[in-house]
């Protein structure tokens, strides 16, 4: 089922399928609910699966010039309240992981388990913030060119040829994202909070799935933030797009985690 709710006079799109314990899937930057099709089909025979188009992405409208991770998390809460869902597993890819962390920070009692997929609990470094500013400048000039350049760089170099068809599909979906939606998300990611403490002391089980050759996130940094933490770690061989580059292993890790808890 595909539907909409209203959040602060802004249209938010979501999909829902299956019955049972709820699993909420939150996509990354330049992505939308369509990225979850394979995983959703795997899960919805035993679980209720809710996918949300985050602000300015997919079929959801823009709310302003800065979409903070907290604001995005509030839209997710509004969807779940509307669906009468109290506790859920959350799977967040990249930016979706930042949103899942923001949700878990504000509503820990509503989290049954947290899975960060190619994501980090740490905030942007000063260098990364400068990179966001440079990206915003490029987007203002030509946002479609920015998308076409950015998407292949999410993959490990040797995977770009292997997964050329998938990359073309990811680009096609990403090109549906408006200039304002891209800028608002970049501004929001740039100012997100440090939520590493949740990996250590969150009152729910958590899992980090990382790519050892991720061109976006630093492997050593991810290992460092999970050292001594109450968080399981699954290491995959390739880049930032584990659901494509290491599809079977990533899906299996998610399935095993939700089965366990």
- Delimit the domains of the chain by residue range: 2-260
Do 30 and 5 touch, CB atoms closer than 8 A?
A: no
Q: Tell me the pLDDT tens digit for each residue of 11-68.
A: 999 999 999 999 999 999 999 999 999 999 999 999 999 999 999 999 999 999 999 9
Using alpha carbons only, give the angle 224, 202, 226 rounded to the nearest 5 degrees.
Answer: 10
Closest CA to 81 of 10, 18, 14: 14
Q: pLDDT value at position 187?
A: 98
Residue 73's pLDDT is 98
Opening angle at CA 39, ends 20 and 66, nearest 5: 95
With H, G, I as helix, E, B as strand and everything else as coil, classify residue 66. coil
Q: CA–CA separation, 172 vs 249, rounded Å?
A: 25
At 28 the pLDDT is: 98
- Cα distance between residue 101 and residue 104, in whole Å: 5
Q: Rounded to the nearest 5 degrees, what angle is found at the Cα of 164, between the Cα atoms of 161 and 170?
A: 140
Helix (H) or strand (E) holding 13: strand 10-17
Q: For residue 199, which phi and psi values (nearest 5 degrees)?
A: -70, -25
Token pair belonging to 50: 């809710």
Q: Collapse the DSSP code of 76 into the 3-class scheme (helix H, G, I; strand E, B; otherwise coil) and give the result.
A: helix
Note whether 116 and 140 are within 8 A (CB): no
Confidence at residue 227, expressed as pLDDT on a 0 to 100 scale = 95
Buried b (16+ CB within 10 A) or exposed e, 60-71: bbbbeeebbbbb
pLDDT in tens, 170-181: 999 999 999 999
- The mean predicted confidence, pLDDT, of the chain is 98
- The reported pLDDT for the residue numbered 99 is 99
pLDDT of amino acid 215: 97
pLDDT the model gives residue 209: 98
Q: Rounded to two decimals, what is the model's pTM? A: 0.98
Among 242, 235, 231, residue whose Cα is nearest residue 206: 231
What pLDDT is attached to residue 66?
98
pLDDT tens profile 86-144: 999 999 999 999 999 999 999 999 999 999 999 999 999 999 999 999 999 999 999 99
- Mean pLDDT confidence for 184-205: 98
Q: Contact, 121 vs 199, CB < 8 A?
A: yes
Which CATH superfamily groups domain 2-260? Alpha/Beta hydrolase fold, catalytic domain (3.40.50.1820)
Q: What percent of the chain has pLDDT over 70?
A: 100
Query: Three-state DSSP class for 109?
Result: helix
pLDDT in tens, 215-237: 999 999 999 999 999 999 999 99
**211-214, long-range: CB < 8 A, 24+ apart:** 211/118, 211/156, 211/236, 211/237, 211/238, 211/239, 211/240, 211/241, 211/242, 211/245, 211/246, 212/236, 212/237, 212/238, 213/156, 213/237, 213/238, 213/239, 214/118, 214/156, 214/239, 214/240
CA gap 9, 55 in Å, rounded: 12
The structure tokens listed for 215 are 């061109």
């Amino acid at each position: 089922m595909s539907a909409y709710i209203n959040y602060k006079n802004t249209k938010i799109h979501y999909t829902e399928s299956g019955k049972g314990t709820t699993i909420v899937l939150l996509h990354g930057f330049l992505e939308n609910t369509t990225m979850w099709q394979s995983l959703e089909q795997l899960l919805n025979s035993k679980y209720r699966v809710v996918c949300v188009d985050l602000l300015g992405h997919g079929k959801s409208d823009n709310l302003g010039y800065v979409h903070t991770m907290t604001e995005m998390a509030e839209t997710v809460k509004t969807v779940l309240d509307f669906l009468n869902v109290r506790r859920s597993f959350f799977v967040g890819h990249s930016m979706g992981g930042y949103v899942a962390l923001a949700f878990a920070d504000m509503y820990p009692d509503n989290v049954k388990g947290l899975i960060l997929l190619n994501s980090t609990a740490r905030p942007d470094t000063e260098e990364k913030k400068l990179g966001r500013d440079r990206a915003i400048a490029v987007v203002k000039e030509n946002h479609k060119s920015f998308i076409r350049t950015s998407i292949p760089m999410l993959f490990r170099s040797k995977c770009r040829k292997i997964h050329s068809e998938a990359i073309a599909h990811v680009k096609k979906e990403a090109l549906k994202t408006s200039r304002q939606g891209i800028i608002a998300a970049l501004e929001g990611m740039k100012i997100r909070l440090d939520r590493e403490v949740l990996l250590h002391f969150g009152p729910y089980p958590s899992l980090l799935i990382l790519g050892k050759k991720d061109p976006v996130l630093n492997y050593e940094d991810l290992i460092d933030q999970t050292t001594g933490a109450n968080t399981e770690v699954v290491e995959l061989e390739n880049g930032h797009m584990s659901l494509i580059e290491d599809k079977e292993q990533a899906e299996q890790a998610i399935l095993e985690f939700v089965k366990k808890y």
